[in-house]
């Protein structure tokens, strides 16, 4: 999903921009930049994920402005890099969509908040919940953090986007239900499947790439 034109009121635009800047500052302060400079593998994952997402986000479907759908892919990036680096990687991917003309620069903050930050934070929250529950079966990490986390993150972003469009008066609530919300469960399934498959593959073949995975818990 992404807003391909300015559909927000001035007050909404300022609010989303303020939240966007606040979350971005917290993310930048949360990154261990010295460790990142020394870790070539994480750097490759960070920039590689940004390039892949930037091109995947070119593919989308939808009729009405602001109600387009596409695979997010932020959940697997969050589990690989942590939420802060996932936000940075996702915003770099969003820059690619702006350069290619798929997203307007004026809506960068709103799209960054909905497409990148909300999914990353929701995934991070679910990962913390799974960690606090102290499950001893590695399928819990795959299911809750990978499949379920991805589906819930896209649902949260979709509901937030609809609330913004409804409150701005762009669409009526009935229109949003008819054209988007009633299909939201169907969007969650492929998002969960794609992210879950990648998380499963990484856990089996490259568990060291999942920085949020504590392998000692599942022995």
Q: What sections of 100-183 are H helices per DSSP?
A: 108-111, 118-133, 138-140, 149-167, 173-179
pLDDT at site 61: 65
Q: Are 152 and 126 in contact (CB under 8 A)?
A: yes
Write the CA distances from 212 to 22, 24, 41, 150, 208, integer angstroms: 23, 20, 15, 15, 9
Distance CA(58)–CA(138), nearest Å, equals 33
Report how far residue 130's alpha carbon sits from residue 135's, in angstroms, rounded to the nearest whole number: 7
- The radius of gyration computed from the CA coordinates of the chain, to the nearest angstrom, equals 17
- Measured in whole angstroms, the distance separating CA 51 from the mean position of its chain's CA atoms is 15
**Digit-coded pLDDT (tens) for 174-202:** 888 888 888 888 889 999 999 999 999 99
pLDDT of residue 126: 95
What are the tokens at 188? 């969650």
Average pLDDT over the chain, rounded to an integer: 88
3-state helix, strand, coil in the chain (%, to 5): 75, 0, 25
Residues 130-181 have pLDDT tens digits of 999 888 888 889 999 999 999 999 999 989 888 888 887 878 888 888 888 8
Mean pLDDT of 60-83: 81
Q: What is the pLDDT of residue 63?
A: 56
Q: Select the more confidently predicted residue: 135 or 90.
A: 90
More confident residue, 10 or 77: 77
Q: What is the pLDDT at residue 92?
A: 97
Which of the four pLDDT bands, split at 50, 70 and 90, describes residue 86? very high
- Using DSSP, state whether 69 is helix, strand or coil: strand
- Nearest of 110, 103, 48, 105 to residue 77 by alpha carbon: 48
Residue 16 CA neighbour count, 13 Å, CB half = 27
Indicate whether 1 pLDDT > 60: no
Q: What is the pLDDT of residues 118-130, one digit of tens each?
A: 999 999 999 999 9
Predicted local distance difference test score (pLDDT) of residue 175: 87
Provide the percentage of residues in the chain whose pLDDT is more than 90.
Answer: 56
DSSP 8-state class, residue 180: T
> Percent of the chain beyond pLDDT 70?
92
| Candidates 2.60.40.10, 3.30.230.10, 2.60.120.330, 1.10.1760.20; CATH matching 10-217 | 1.10.1760.20
Tokens of 91: 């915003």
């Amino acid at each position: 999903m992404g807003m391909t034109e300015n559909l927000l009121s001035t007050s909404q635009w300022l609010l989303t921009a303020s939240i966007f800047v606040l979350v971005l500052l917290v993310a930048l302060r949360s990154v261990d930049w010295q460790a990142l400079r020394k870790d070539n593998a994480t750097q490759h994952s960070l920039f590689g994920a940004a390039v892949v997402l930037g091109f995947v986000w070119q593919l989308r479907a939808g009729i009405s402005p602001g109600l387009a759908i596409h695979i997010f892919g932020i959940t697997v990036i969050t589990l690989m890099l942590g939420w802060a680096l996932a936000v940075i990687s996702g915003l770099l991917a969003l820059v690619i969509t702006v350069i290619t003309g798929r997203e307007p620069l004026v809506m960068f903050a709103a799209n960054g908040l909905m497409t990148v930050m909300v999914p990353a934070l929701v995934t991070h929250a679910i990962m913390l919940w799974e960690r606090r529950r102290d499950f001893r079966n590695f399928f819990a990490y795959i299911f809750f953090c990978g499949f379920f986390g991805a589906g819930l993150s896209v649902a949260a972003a979709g509901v937030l986007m609809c609330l913004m469009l409804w409150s701005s008066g762009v669409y009526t609530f009935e229109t949003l239900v008819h054209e988007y919300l009633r299909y939201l469960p169907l969007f969650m399934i492929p998002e969960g499947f794609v992210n879950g498959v990648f998380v499963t593959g990484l856990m089996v073949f490259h568990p060291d790439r999942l920085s949020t995975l504590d392998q000692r818990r599942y022995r």
